[in-house]
Amino acid sequence: MKINEIAKLLGSKVEGDPDFEVKRVSEIKDNRIGDLVFLFNEKKVNEVEKLKDFAAVVPDSVRECSARSWIRVRDVKASMIKTLKYFYDNSVQIPESYLTTLENLSHVKMGNDVRIGKNVFIGENCILGNNVSIFPFSYIGNDVKIGNGSVIYPHAVILDRTKIGQEVIIYPGVVVGSEGFGYHRVKGEFKAIPHVGKVVIGNRVEIGALSMIDRGTIGDTIIGDGTKIDNSVHIAHNVKIGKNVIILAQVGIAGSCELGDDVVIAGQAGIADHVKIGKGATVAAKSGVSKDVEEKEVVFGYPADKRLNYIRKASYYKRLPELFKRVKALEQSK
Amino acid sequence: MKINEIAKLLGSKVEGDPDFEVKRVSEIKDNRIGDLVFLFNEKKVNEVEKLKDFAAVVPDSVRECSARSWIRVRDVKASMIKTLKYFYDNSVQIPESYLTTLENLSHVKMGNDVRIGKNVFIGENCILGNNVSIFPFSYIGNDVKIGNGSVIYPHAVILDRTKIGQEVIIYPGVVVGSEGFGYHRVKGEFKAIPHVGKVVIGNRVEIGALSMIDRGTIGDTIIGDGTKIDNSVHIAHNVKIGKNVIILAQVGIAGSCELGDDVVIAGQAGIADHVKIGKGATVAAKSGVSKDVEEKEVVFGYPADKRLNYIRKASYYKRLPELFKRVKALEQSK
Amino acid sequence: MKINEIAKLLGSKVEGDPDFEVKRVSEIKDNRIGDLVFLFNEKKVNEVEKLKDFAAVVPDSVRECSARSWIRVRDVKASMIKTLKYFYDNSVQIPESYLTTLENLSHVKMGNDVRIGKNVFIGENCILGNNVSIFPFSYIGNDVKIGNGSVIYPHAVILDRTKIGQEVIIYPGVVVGSEGFGYHRVKGEFKAIPHVGKVVIGNRVEIGALSMIDRGTIGDTIIGDGTKIDNSVHIAHNVKIGKNVIILAQVGIAGSCELGDDVVIAGQAGIADHVKIGKGATVAAKSGVSKDVEEKEVVFGYPADKRLNYIRKASYYKRLPELFKRVKALEQSK
């Protein structure tokens, strides 16, 4: 493909050789002649010296670039997304031969252009919107609703009463709507508390492989629009999560927590039950949060503390050997 | 339903309006006219001011309550469990149309009233007790025994030789009896140690979604009666767990650990291999335990320490800035 | 079985009673008359006093042993592996009746002696080597290649374009090749970055139950030959892992990390994105690594630090109460 075509796709123009033939998109360290690379900032452009045999997409602010051909854009990452979508078919497809004939699912109320794999179980009173895709080996319980354009990958388990919005992606092995973990001890034995609530998932939510979202005790577990959840995340009963929240891999969120919009929870962090995390707050990786976090706060460590406190304490901690020496000197000088 | 009927169910009587109509059970913050709420302690009763349009179940000790109708009980949580079971059908059901005809499973020895979904695989020499339910897409290997009244949710994998007690619940995606992680390095390469043991699960055990219990090397991995395990818990080869143990989400228990009866391990904690945790001990969330823990001990942190030590150290840590100042003052006053 | 036969199997000879009948291999604490135990070091041999009713395999260096019969070997663990393989059939088998007839998979290019369970989905353009086994309920996408002698346990999900080497073992519920977690925020909304790369798994790799390996953005996620991965491990997009690496349960490795050969990552550790861990380095359990680790380094804690620093800091931390007392004494003596 001519570099010119890509420039047109990105709404920009080519600097340097306008006839350069792009063979593939690559990472900088793997590049070969004919490759196109995306350089996210000026520093990256300067680090890469021998660009002369390939093409680059760079930020607007770059004046000079050693690439044979280069394209300046306002947002390099957005341009990369556009180019990758144009160059590659990234979608994982249900093979045609594994699509079921919908006659087998005459008990399911469904919209147009629904694609369902063989060996998919769908219970009673379910409603599927238009363009829904469900891969083989997924289990959909009773009274489940799935909105337009949503995709359920293989081996997902969506239990009874779950409501899923539009354009949601459920990756492989996810479990939604399982019984919450709540017991009451009576004469030494644990009696399970029935979880009569459900899970409600908003629009454009994505849930990574092998994550799990338990249903509510009374009331529901709620995931807001646009929220993205990485792999192996545990979300307990009655948690309420806002819009456009990012939750990284292996995070655990205990029962009845509330996360505001735009919160970010980094990998392996844990949030104790009933904690409220304000809008726009960030929890650093591996932190353990047991108290409420204010809006826009950034917290670190275990027990989690505000960023500045954390850094201050850590620096004092580092200086402990020095302090021991100073005290010894004081003692000897007496 | 009349509030009177609920009072009868709970073995108590109504105070206030005896004809109040209960429409549903709700959480306090969601309540609407006609709702019934459960208030677990006096503090909660006092916090909630405007109870006048709904009904409440409260502890015995409460003398005054602003609810239109209220019921006093000895154990509010137990009463909530009773009421929820009475009001709601909480059970997740295998849809009738997805039950297999048992002729397909003529090779399996089974009791009465067994309910098995389509697309369930059961290997050779298996024995299922009365009232066992197995959901679609579960895989049961060879020589597996499942006791009366146990339920296996969709996508569980129960591998060869596993023994499961009575009234056990295995939630979706659980893996029981997989090979333990043990290798021996010979000339740079890792050789797998064969795990010829099995997993033995007691009565009334519950295992949360996507948890995994590996089989023993020589000898077995054992889970005691009444133990409840949350989601995504890893239990390694040869671990022995006592009775009525509680293990919260994302906990990892390494090989050959022993946990006494009534132990509690909070979320994301990790226990190193061969550690013994005494009866009734508690491990706090996110702790890392590498040494034995005595009976009834409560341990915190990483490396885990007794509660009092942990609190004392943490308070000294907090006071470090003050200590630095004091040392500086001493130096300047010389 | 006569102890003599086992001595022959291990290339050694019997000391003590040459006619001892071995009934089973056992753990020391479970032993009964007729059992054979493996004692890995001299300390273990001395700890066990009453060996007189059973047989033992012990290290070469042991001169005296109270067992009725005993065998001295150079490598006790290797001898145990040999003996267990000889005594027991450890393999988990696809029941014969659950093998599919390969006519159902005429679209798949495959070698000799391939064993595939019923209810296995295999997409288009896949290639399976000789002696490949795939258990029921596994989902293999399009364009997947699986090398000779590899085993895929039930409920594994191997998505499009994945390449798997020879003699690889994929345990139950593993997800390979799912979309990486990468988003770009445009006007408040998160846009997914297409992951057009794949996952490439070397020879003799083993991947524990419910672990997940995401595919690369551009470029691939790579797992080197001989690497062994425990349960519930998260490996993000574009991670490159060397040969003979050991990764224990519940570890998380963020995007674009590089691990050299012979690295060991202990349980529940987390590695931040783009971190490089040098050959032969070890990361202790529960550590959080955010900076590169040099070859053969051993790091502990969060943030992870070199072993000696970690121990030194921890010892100063322990002595804080003493330091407070000393400062108080100085203040009072002024």
- Tell me the shortest Cα–Cα distance from C230 to chain B, in angstroms: 6
- C-facing residues of B in 128-187 (CB < 8 A) are 137, 139, 141-142, 155, 157, 159-160, 173, 175, 178-179, 181, 183-184, 186
* Residue C311 touches partner A, C-beta closer than 8 Å: no
Of C276, C227, C170, nearest to B188 (Cα)?
Answer: C227
pLDDT digits (tens, 9 = 90+) for B41-79: 988 888 777 777 889 999 999 988 889 999 999 999 999
Q: Is B314 on the interface with C (CB under 8 A)?
A: no
Q: Are strands A183-186 and A189-192 parallel, antiparallel or unpaired?
A: antiparallel
Backbone region of residue B214 per phi and psi (left: phi > 0; alpha: psi in -120 to 50; beta: other values): beta
Beta carbons within 10 angstroms of residue A308's beta carbon: 10
Cα C61 from Cα A34, distance rounded (Å): 63
pLDDT at A65: 87
Catalytic residue among C107, C155, C237, C274: C237
pLDDT-based confidence at C96, cuts 50/70/90? confident
pLDDT at A174 over 80: yes
- Compute the average pLDDT of residues C277-294: 97
Cα separation, B171 vs B231, whole angstroms: 9
Give how far C52 is from chain A: nearest CA, Å.
43
What is chain B's alpha carbon radius of gyration, rounded to the nearest angstrom? 26
Looking at residue C91, what is its pLDDT? 74
Nearest chain A CA: its distance from B218 CA (Å): 30
Question: What integer pLDDT is reported at residue B223 of this predicted model?
Answer: 98
| Nearest Cβ partner for B320 among A139, A212, A317 | A317
Is A234 touching B (CB cutoff 8 A)? Answer: yes
CA distance C64 to C81: 24
pLDDT of residue C311: 86
Kindly list the residues from chain C whose CB atom is less than 8 angstroms away from the CB atom of residue A98.
121, 123
Question: How far apart are the C-alpha atoms of C37 and B192, rounded to whole Å?
Answer: 19
Mutation target for A interface from C175, C176, C231, C238: give the one with most A CBs within 10 A.
C175
For the stretch C158-190, what's the b/e string if a residue is b when 16 or more beta carbons lie within 10 angstroms of its beta carbon?
A: bbbbbbbbbbbbbbbbbbbbbbbbbbeeeeeeb
Task: Indicate the residue of A95, A317, A327 with minimum beta-carbon distance to C323.
Answer: A327
Q: How far apart are CA A288 and CA B250, in angstroms?
A: 13
- Using CA atoms, how far apart are residues A165 and A171, in angstroms rounded to an integer? 15
Q: Prior bond to B194 cis, omega within 30?
A: no
Residues near C68 by Cβ (< 8 Å), separated by ≥ 6? C16, C17, C20, C51, C52, C53, C54, C55
Residue A143: pLDDT band (50, 70, 90) is very high
Using a CB-CB cut-off of 8 Å, the residues of chain A touching C287 are none
Q: Which of A77-91, A292-306, B89-103, C108-122 comes out lowest in average pLDDT?
A: B89-103
> What does the alpha-carbon distance between residue C263 and residue C283 come to, in Å, rounded to a whole number?
8
Predicted local confidence at residue A94, as pLDDT: 85
Per-residue pLDDT for A130 more than 90? yes
Split at pLDDT 50, 70, 90, the class of C29 is: confident
CB pairs B-C closer than 8 Å: 171
Weakly modelled stretches of chain B, pLDDT under 70: none
Q: What is the pLDDT of residue A51?
A: 73
**Inter-chain residue contact B181 with C25, CB threshold 8 Å:** no
Instruction: Of A71-80, A324-333, B262-271, C170-179, give the lowest mean pLDDT range.
Output: A324-333
Task: Name residues whose C-beta falls within 8 Å of residue B314's C-beta, 6 or more positions apart in sequence.
Answer: none
pLDDT at B159: 96
Rounded to 10 deg, the angle between the C307-318 and B307-318 helix axes is: 90
pLDDT at C30 over 80: no
Write the Ramachandran bin of C104: left for phi over 0, alpha for psi from -120 to 50, otherwise beta. alpha
Distance CA B33, CA B281 (A): 44
What pLDDT, on a 0 to 100 scale, did the predictor assign at position A89?
Answer: 76
Between CA B13 and CA B1 the distance in angstroms is: 15
B246 and A190: CB-CB below 8 Å? yes
Look up residue A46 and give its two tokens: 């300067």
Name chain B contacts of C95, Cβ cutoff 8 Å. Answer: 121, 123-124, 142
CA of A190 vs chain B CAs: smallest distance (Å):
7
Cβ atoms of C244 and C266 within 8 Å: the answer is no
Would you call A44 helix, strand, or coil by DSSP? helix
Judged by average pLDDT, the poorest of A44-53, B132-141, B222-231, C204-213 is A44-53
User: pLDDT by residue (tens digit) across C290-300?
Assistant: 999 999 999 99
**DSSP-assigned states of every residue in A232-270:** T-EE-TT-EE-SS-EE-TT-EE-TT-EE-TT-EE-TT-E
The confidence score (pLDDT) of residue C66 equals 86
Tokens representing B155 are 């996508």
* Mean model confidence pLDDT for chain A: 93
> What pTM did the predictor assign?
0.95
Mean pLDDT, residues C251-276: 98
Residues C221-253 have pLDDT tens digits of 999 999 999 999 999 999 999 999 999 999 999
User: In this structure, what DSSP letter does residue A292 have?
Assistant: -
**C-beta atoms of A323 and B321 within 8 A:** no
By C-alpha distance, the chain B residue nearest A326 is B327
Q: Rounded to an integer, what distance in angstroms lies between the CA atom of residue B227 and that of residue B238?
A: 17
Instruction: Write the CB contacts of C171 (distance below 8 Å, at least 6 apart in sequence).
Output: B175, B178, B179, C153, C156, C206, C207, C208, C209, C211, C231
| Cβ atoms A216, A237 nearer than 8 A | yes
Task: Tell me if A228 and C183 make a contact (CB, 8 A cut-off).
Answer: yes
Can you tell me which residue has the tokens 């059961």?
B122
CB A215 within 8 A of CB A193: no
Q: Which residues of A touch C196 (CB under 8 A)?
A: 25, 84, 87-88, 90
Residue C237: exposure state from Cβ atoms within 10 A (0-12, 13-18, ≥19): buried
- Report the C-alpha gap between A307 and A61 in whole angstroms: 32
The pLDDT of residue A97 is 83
Per DSSP, which regions of B215-287 are E strands?
Answer: 221-223, 228-229, 234-235, 240-241, 246-247, 252-253, 258-259, 264-265, 270-271, 276-277, 282-283
Cα B179 to Cα B160: distance, rounded to the nearest angstrom: 10
User: Considering only CA atoms, which of C184, C193, C243, C190 is closest in space to residue C214?
Assistant: C193
Between helix A307-318 and helix C307-318 the angle, nearest 10°, is 90
d(CA C118, CA C98): 5
Helix (H, G, I), strand (E, B) or coil at A133: strand
| Matching residue, tokens 């022995």 | B240
Name the pLDDT band for A1 (thresholds 50, 70, 90): confident
Among C98, C250, C286, the residue with its CB nearest the CB of B121 is C98
CB contact under 8 A, A25 and C254: no
Q: Is B61 on the interface with A (CB under 8 A)?
A: no
Report yes or no: C140 and C161 within 8 Å, Cβ to Cβ.
no
Q: How many CA atoms lie within 13 A of B269 on its CB side?
A: 24
Structure tokens that stand for B136 in this block: 């679609």
Taking the C-alpha atoms of residue B305 and residue B299, their distance in angstroms, rounded to an integer, is 5
Q: Are A274 and A288 in contact (CB under 8 A)?
A: no
Task: State the distance between the two ends of chain C, measured CA to CA, in whole angstroms.
Answer: 81
Q: Is C270 on the interface with A (CB under 8 A)?
A: yes
Q: Summarize pLDDT for C99-156 with one digit per residue, the tens.
A: 988 877 999 999 999 999 999 999 999 999 999 999 999 999 999 999 999 999 999 9
B119, B313, B326: residue with CB nearest C317: B313
- Tell me the torsion sign for CA atoms B87, B91, B92, B98: negative
C135–B137 CB contact, under 8 Å: no
CB pairs under 8 A between A and C: 171
A96 phi, psi to nearest 5 deg: -50, -40
Residues of C in contact with B175 (CB under 8 A): 155, 171-173, 209-210, 231
Cis-peptide, bond into residue C95, ω within 30° of zero: no
Least confident of C52-56, C78-82, C136-140, C275-279: C52-56
- Reported as a pLDDT band with limits 50, 70 and 90, residue A38 is very high
- Determine the pLDDT at residue B88: 85
Mean pLDDT of A89-97: 79
Residues of chain A with C-beta less than 8 angstroms from the C-beta of B92: 141-142, 159-160, 179
- pLDDT at residue A60 in the model: 94
- A contacts of C275 (beta carbons < 8 Å): none
If contacts are CB pairs under 8 Å, which of residues 182-201 in chain A contact chain C?
none
- Residue A240, beta-bridge partner list: A222, A258
Token pair belonging to B223: 């889970």
Question: Catalytic site residue C234?
Answer: no
What strands lie across the sheet with A109-110, from one edge to the other? Answer: A109-110, A127-128, A145-146, A163-164, A199-201, A221-223, A240-241, A258-259, A276-277
The mean pLDDT of C202-223, rounded to a whole number, is 97
Q: Which of A104, A120, A121, A195 to mutate to test the interface with B (most CBs of B within 10 A)?
A: A121
Beta carbons within 8 Å of C300's beta carbon, 6+ residues apart: C284, C287, C306, C307, C310, C311
